[in-house]
């Protein structure tokens, strides 16, 4: 059985996944990181955990994090981000986000999905904590 926590595909295989497929995976990766951080910070109640997580995984919050991250991306990472940002989802942006925020959030998720599939967990952690550095809500 393959260890999906330690997956490491080559660039060609990752590029064959659609941008929205990468965003789907990246959404899960990002949420797992946020949930883990919440538990480590000692959010004890289910309500506290849920509210803090939802606030950080919303499209507006992810869009702000993407803006913090952009100057630190390599050309390859920026290409994944742009691929996701420019992908046209078949549904409208959530009520709490503008189309631009939703596009930037999708870019962030696409990048995290690509890095996960490429096996670049250290880089995911680096970018995740970089996006959190000015986050006083948590």
Residues classed as catalytic: 27
Question: Is 62 exposed, middle or buried, given 0-12, 13-18 or 19+ CB atoms closer than 10 A?
Answer: buried
Going by C-alpha positions, the residue among 103, 99, 97, 60 that lies closest to residue 81 is 103
Decide: 15 and 103 in contact? Cβ < 8 Å. no
Tokens of 46: 């289910």
Whether 106 contacts 133, CB under 8 Å? no
Look up residue 17 and give its DSSP letter. S
Quick check: 138 and 28 in contact, CB under 8 A? no
């Amino acid at each position: 059985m393959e260890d999906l926590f330690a997956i490491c595909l080559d660039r060609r295989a990752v590029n064959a996944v659609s941008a929205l497929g990468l965003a789907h995976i990246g959404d899960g990766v990002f949420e797992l990181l946020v949930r883990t951080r919440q538990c480590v910070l000692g959010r004890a109640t289910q309500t506290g955990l849920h509210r803090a997580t939802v606030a950080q995984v919303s499209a507006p919050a992810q869009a702000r994090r993407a803006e913090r991250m952009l100057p630190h991306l390599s050309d390859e990472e920026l290409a994944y981000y742009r691929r996701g940002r420019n992908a046209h989802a078949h549904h409208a942006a959530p009520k709490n986000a503008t189309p631009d925020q939703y596009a930037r959030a999708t870019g962030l998720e696409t990048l995290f999905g690509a890095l996960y599939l490429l096996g670049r967990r250290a880089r995911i952690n680096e970018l995740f904590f970089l996006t959190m550095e000015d986050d006083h809500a948590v």
